[in-house]
C-alpha cells in the first residue's frame, strides 16, 4: 500500500494516508553521529580525530588511534518543545515531550604485536558496540479555526465514480460508514458531504522511535602515521505515529452534525546492514586528515497500520444512535529500502596536546534513496504521467553537505572544555522547501586515572511546513512547525 508525497513549494507532511513515501525515505536516511557525550559536545566532528567510540561510526580508522582498551556507556535526556503556527489564521499551539534513553555502549580492545619494531604496524584494534543515530520523538498540536475547506471534500472527490463497496477501507469507507459522506439520491457512485458549513479543524501528532547501529570494527595503526579501518554496521529503525484529525461545527451553527475525528496509526520497523571503510593520515604530529565512505544501508521493513473514524450528531436516528464509529482492517506490508551512499572528509589540528580543532564535511545525495521489492511485487517506479514514490524522491531531493565542527581545550590534565557547531544542509531541490538547520553544543570532560566522565548539551531549532491535506484544486491552511530540541548527555568510561 503506497501513498504519494506531494510538494507545493513547501514541505507537506501528509496526514491522511499510509505507506512508503519520500518523507519516509528522508527520515530513514538521516543520521546524526553523537552517541557519546564527547562527540556530541564537539558537534560530532570526529572523522579525523579517532579515539572516541562514536567516531568509529563516522570513520572506522579512528579505532586504530586507541592506545588502550576501553569500555564506555552513554545515557541521554531529550526535551522537545513543538510550536505549531497556522500561517493563515495566525493561531499557534505548543506541546512538549521528554525522553530518557541509552545512546552508546562500546567496547574497544587494543592489541600490540609481541615484538614491536621502530617502524611498521603498531597495534591492531577491535571494537563492538552500539550508537544511537536518530530519535523520532515529538508531540504536536495544531488547528485551523473556521477553515475554508474540509477533509470531507477530499474524501468526496476520492469517492466519486466508485461504488461504496469499492471505497478505500482505510479512509473513504470509514467516512461513508459513519454517515459523513453519502451517495447522492438516485446514484450509487456520486457523493456529497454531510455538511458544507465552515468548520474548525484540529490535529494532534504523537511520534515515537529511534534509529541505531550495532557495529563491529577492525583497524590498524602503521607507525602512528597512517591508520586504516573497516566496520560492519547492523542498523535498526523503529518508528510509530498516531495522528488524530478532527473537524467540528462553529459555536453559532444550528446543524444537526456536530463533529468527527479521524485517527491513523502507523508503525514501521526495519533492519539493515552496511559497510564502512576509512583512513586517517598524519603528515605532521599536529595535523590529521581523514576520509571515509559508507555504503548504502540495505533495509528490510515491515509496517502495520490501521485507522478509525468517529462521528457525532445532535439528534438520534430512528434506532436511537447519535454517534457512529468505524474501524479499518489491520494492514500489513513489507518492502526493501536502500539509503544513499555517504562520504566524509575530515581534518583536525592537535596543538601541544592542549587544543583540538576538528571539522567533518559529509556528502550525501538523498535523491539516491530507493524503495524496492514490495510485498505485492511493486518496484515503486512509475512513469512521467503517473510518478511513483522513487520518481518523487528523485524529483524532490538533492545532493547536500553537512558540516560538523568541534573544539576541545584541555584546561588542566584532568579537565577538558568542549564546544561544537553543526550545519545540516538542505535536502530539497524544490524551491521554497528547506529542512536544513543549525546545531549548537558544548560540554566538558573529566578524567582521573583510568576513569573518565563526559557531559554534553546540544540544541537545535528545526522548522518545517505542512498541510493537513491537498488536492490539485485546494489545500488546507499551512502549518509552520518549530521544534526546539534540547539534549543532555553523560558518558562514563574505563580504560584498561
Q: What is the pLDDT of residues 96-105, one digit of tens each?
A: 999 999 999 9
- Is the pLDDT reported for residue 2 higher than 60? no
| 222-232 mean pLDDT | 96
- Is the pLDDT reported for residue 300 higher than 70? yes
Which residue's C-alpha cell is 489545500? Answer: 475
Using DSSP, state whether 29 is helix, strand or coil. helix
- Going by pLDDT thresholds of 50, 70 and 90, the confidence category of residue 19 is low
| 335-340 mean pLDDT | 97
pLDDT at position 431 is: 79
Provide φ and ψ at 159, rounded to 5°: -90, -30
pLDDT at position 18 is: 55
Share of the chain above pLDDT 70, in %: 96
Q: For residues 33 and 60, is the Cβ–Cβ distance under 8 A? A: no
- Is the pLDDT reported for residue 465 higher than 80? yes
CA distance 407 to 440: 12
Per-residue model confidence as pLDDT tens digits over 364-412: 999 999 999 999 888 999 888 888 899 999 999 999 999 999 999 999 9
Q: Which residues contact 115 (CB under 8 A, 6 or more apart)?
A: none
Q: Regarding predicted confidence, which is higher, 377 or 115? A: 377
Question: Which sequence spans correspond to the domains of the chain?
Answer: 22-148+198-495
Q: How far is CA 164 from CA 174, 177, 188, 190, 378, in A?
A: 10, 9, 7, 10, 26
- Is the pLDDT reported for residue 113 higher than 80? yes
DSSP strand pairing (121-135 vs 331-338): unpaired
Share of the chain above pLDDT 90, in %: 85
Q: Topology of domain 22-148+198-495, per CATH?
A: Porin (2.40.160)
- Going by pLDDT thresholds of 50, 70 and 90, the confidence category of residue 6 is very low
pLDDT at position 61 is: 97
Kindly report the average pLDDT of the chain as a whole number.
Answer: 92
- Is the pLDDT reported for residue 17 higher than 60? no
Amino acid at each position: 500500500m503506497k501513498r504519494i508525497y506531494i510538494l507545493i513549494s513547501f514541505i507537506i507532511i501528509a496526514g491522511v494516508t499510509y505507506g512508503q513515501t519520500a518523507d519516509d525515505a528522508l527520515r530513514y536516511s538521516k543520521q546524526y553521529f553523537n552517541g557519546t557525550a564527547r562527540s556530541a559536545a564537539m558537534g560530532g566532528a570526529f572523522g579525523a580525530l579517532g579515539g572516541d567510540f562514536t567516531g568509529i561510526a563516522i570513520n572506522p580508522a579512528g579505532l586504530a588511534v586507541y592506545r588502550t582498551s576501553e569500555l564506555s556507556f552513554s545515557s541521554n535526556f531529550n526535551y522537545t518543545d513543538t510550536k505549531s503556527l497556522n500561517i493563515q489564521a495566525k493561531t499557534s499551539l505548543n506541546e512538549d515531550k521528554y525522553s530518557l534513553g541509552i545512546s552508546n555502549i562500546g567496547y574497544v580492545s587494543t592489541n600490540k604485536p609481541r615484538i614491536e619494531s621502530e617502524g611498521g604496524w603498531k597495534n591492531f584494534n577491535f571494537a563492538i558496540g552500539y550508537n544511537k543515530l536518530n530519535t523520532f520523538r515529538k508531540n504536536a498540536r495544531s488547528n485551523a479555526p473556521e477553515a475554508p475547506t474540509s477533509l470531507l471534500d477530499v474524501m468526496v472527490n476520492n469517492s466519486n465514480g466508485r461504488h461504496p463497496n469499492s471505497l478505500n477501507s482505510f479512509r473513504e469507507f470509514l467516512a461513508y460508514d459513519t454517515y459523513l459522506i453519502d451517495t447522492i439520491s438516485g446514484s450509487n457512485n456520486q457523493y456529497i458531504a454531510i455538511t458544507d458549513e465552515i468548520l474548525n479543524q484540529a490535529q494532534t501528532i504523537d511520534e515515537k522511535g529511534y534509529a541505531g547501529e550495532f557495529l563491529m570494527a577492525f583497524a590498524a595503526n602503521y607507525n602512528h602515521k597512517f591508520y586504516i579501518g573497516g566496520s560492519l554496521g547492523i542498523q535498526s529503525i523503529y518508528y510509530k505515529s498516531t495522528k488524530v484529525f478532527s473537524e467540528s461545527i462553529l459555536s453559532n451553527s444550528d446543524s444537526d452534525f456536530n463533529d468527527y475525528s479521524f485517527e491513523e496509526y502507523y508503525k514501521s520497523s526495519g533492519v539493515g546492514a552496511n559497510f564502512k571503510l576509512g583512513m586517517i593520515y598524519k603528515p605532521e604530529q599536529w595535523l590529521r586528515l581523514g576520509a571515509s565512505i559508507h555504503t548504502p544501508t540495505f533495509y528490510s521493513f515491515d509496517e502495520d497500520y490501521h485507522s478509525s473514524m468517529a462521528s457525532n450528531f445532535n439528534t438520534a436516528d430512528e434506532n436511537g444512535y447519535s454517534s457512529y464509529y468505524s474501524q479499518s482492517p489491520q494492514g500489513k506490508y513489507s518492502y526493501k529500502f536502500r539509503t544513499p551512499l555517504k562520504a566524509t572528509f575530515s581534518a583536525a589540528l592537535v596543538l601541544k596536546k592542549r587544543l583540538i580543532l576538528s571539522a567533518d564535511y559529509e556528502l550525501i545525495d538523498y535523491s539516491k534513496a530507493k524503495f524496492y521489492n514490495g510485498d505485492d511485487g511493486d518496484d515503486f517506479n512509475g512513469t512521467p504521467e503517473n510518478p511513483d514514490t522513487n520518481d518523487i524522491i528523485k524529483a524532490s531531493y538533492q545532493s547536500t553537505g553537512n558540516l560538523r565542527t568541534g573544539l576541545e581545550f584541555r584546561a588542566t590534565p584532568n579537565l577538558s572544555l568542549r564546544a561544537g557547531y553543526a550545519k545540516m544542509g538542505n535536502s530539497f531541490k524544490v524551491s521554497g522547501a528547506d529542512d536544513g538547520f543549525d546545531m549548537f553544543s558544548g560540554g566538558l570532560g573529566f578524567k582521573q586515572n583510568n576513569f573518565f566522565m563526559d557531559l554534553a548539551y546540544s540544541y537545535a531549532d528545526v522548522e518545517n511546513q505542512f498541510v493537513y491535506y491537498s488536492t490539485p484544486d485546494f489545500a488546507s491552511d499551512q502549518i509552520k512547525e518549530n521544534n526546539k530540541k534540547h539534549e543532555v548527555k553523560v558518558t562514563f568510561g574505563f580504560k584498561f
